[in-house]
Amino acid sequence: MEYINLGRSGLKVSKLCLGTWHLPHLEEKDEYGVYKINVEEVRRIVKRAIDLGINCIDTANRYHGAMAPVDLQHVGTSERILGEVLQGFDRESLVIATKVRGQMAPWPNGEGLSRKHIMWQIRESLKRLRTDYVDLYQMHWPDPSTPIEESMEAMADLVHRGLVNYIGASNFPADAYAYMSQLARELHVPFVSMQELYNWLERDNDAKLETAKRYGLSVLAYSPLAQGFLTGKYLSGVPQSSRATYMPDLPKRYMTPERLEAVKRFHEVAQRLGVKDSQLALAWILKRAEEVGVAIVPIIGATRTEQLEENVEAVSINLKWDVYRELEDIYSALRAKGYRLTSYAFLSKYLLLRYTTPTITGASVSLAANCPSTVSQ
């Protein structure tokens, strides 16, 4: 495994991080009709990941493990299970990243990025994760009802109190990252990363790479395999026990004729190279990082150790530039034909904001207007 620095900080993270949004589940359901998590398989995956050199594990206070949409009975499950399976590993060898923002309780301050909610949720996350500190604490997505200065000051206080080492954010617009970087400098805290949806098929966040470069942020690329669709396994339908079997929106989002066509052409390149589609998808991201000069760290999910092992091998594939260009050509040609490779419906529903550009010199940033109050991640 190779390690790179996160943002401009000295923190070293493995070239791939392990995500815990969806965990392997049992066939048995609980009293709410939700799949129970296969904790023993999680234990095996986490152990194997650490054995393979992955030192960075991403979670969120709201992650539930194996269901969608999230409900308040199941939030916190992923952190709790992660806390349990990490017992016995040396905490200091690990980089634990978690997030705050999503709804955790039904009361008015049960969600958001207010000082009150952040201060409450760090205590809860530390308890669930059974640790004294979080390495990277991320604002999961914007909270239009809270001034970003209040959120950043609360995050900075956590750093100054030693509860958090580094801070980052996720799903914010590019200009908000610029403003948060400036605030972080003023508050003397290391703001190091943006966590964004990024894979060969879904490139709306391409524009944010420039911001990342300018402000010295690393990009933690989430859903780097397009939730499994870039593994090729959906080319002939929805396979048994795959994520799409229990997330009915996924086939609608990914199994459109144009996306299947793109994935098929991607698959043909992988076959010709003699690598797995998943490995090509991850190797493409690492090459893209090289091209744009920004550290992009894919956060991979896995429901079986074999998936993890297959995916980790991508780190040793050095994609040749001509193959990289060929993949870019396939992508561009499909775009030119009018294919929409990103599900705009999904993005506008969950993530896109009508956002007022902040005055970088200090005025309050308005994230008001159309911001959604919940996302399922």
Ligand X SMILES: NC(=O)c1ccc[n+]([C@@H]2O[C@H](COP(=O)([O-])OP(=O)(O)OC[C@H]3O[C@@H](n4cnc5c(N)ncnc54)[C@H](OP(=O)(O)O)[C@@H]3O)[C@@H](O)[C@H]2O)c1
Question: According to the binding rule CB under 6 A, does residue 311 interact with ligand X?
Answer: yes
Q: What are phi and psi of 337, to 5 degrees?
A: -75, 0
Contact flag: residue 233 with ligand X (CB under 6 A): yes
Question: Per rule CB under 6 A, is residue 228 in the interface with ligand X?
Answer: yes
Name the minimum Å distance from CB 31 to ligand X. Answer: 23
Closest CA to 74 of 25, 115, 116, 131: 25
Q: By CB under 6 A, is residue 301 in contact with ligand X? A: yes
Among 191, 222, 266, 284, binds ligand X (CB under 6 A): 222
Closer residue to ligand X, CB minimum distance, 165 or 171:
171
- Among positions 128-147, residues that touch ligand X (CB under 6 A) are 140
**Which of residues 131 and 231 has its CB atom nearest to ligand X in the complex?**
231
Q: Which is nearer to ligand X, 245 or 359 (CB)?
A: 245
Residue 26's contacts (CB-CB under 8 Å, 6 or more residues apart) are: 35, 36, 37, 38
CB of 186 to ligand X, least distance (A): 25
Q: How far apart are CA 115 and CA 124, in angstroms?
A: 14
Nearest residue (beta carbon) to ligand X: 19
Gap between the Cα atoms of 130 and 94, Å rounded:
13
Q: Closest separation between CB of residue 141 and ligand X, Å?
A: 6
Residue of 225, 286, 353, 367 interacting with ligand X (CB under 6 A) = 225
Residue 11 CB coordination number (10 Å): 20
10-49 residues near ligand X, rule: CB under 6 A: 19-22
Asked whether the beta carbons of 223 and 253 are under 8 A apart, the reply is no
In angstroms, the Cα distances linking 140 to 59, 97, 99, 351, 377 are: 10, 11, 5, 11, 9
User: Which one, 11 or 56, has the nearer CB to ligand X?
Assistant: 56
Strands 17-19 and 296-300: parallel
Separation in Å, CA 91 to CA 6, 28, 85, 166, 283: 18, 32, 12, 16, 29
Q: Does 79 bind ligand X (CB under 6 A)?
A: no
The site map against ligand X for 234-253 (x = CB under 6 A) is: --------xx----------
Other CB atoms within 10 Å distance of the CB of residue 126:
18
User: Using CB under 6 A as the criterion, which residues of the chain lie in contact with ligand X when the complex forms?
Assistant: 19-22, 58, 140, 170-171, 195, 222-228, 231, 233, 242-243, 278, 299-303, 307, 310-311, 377
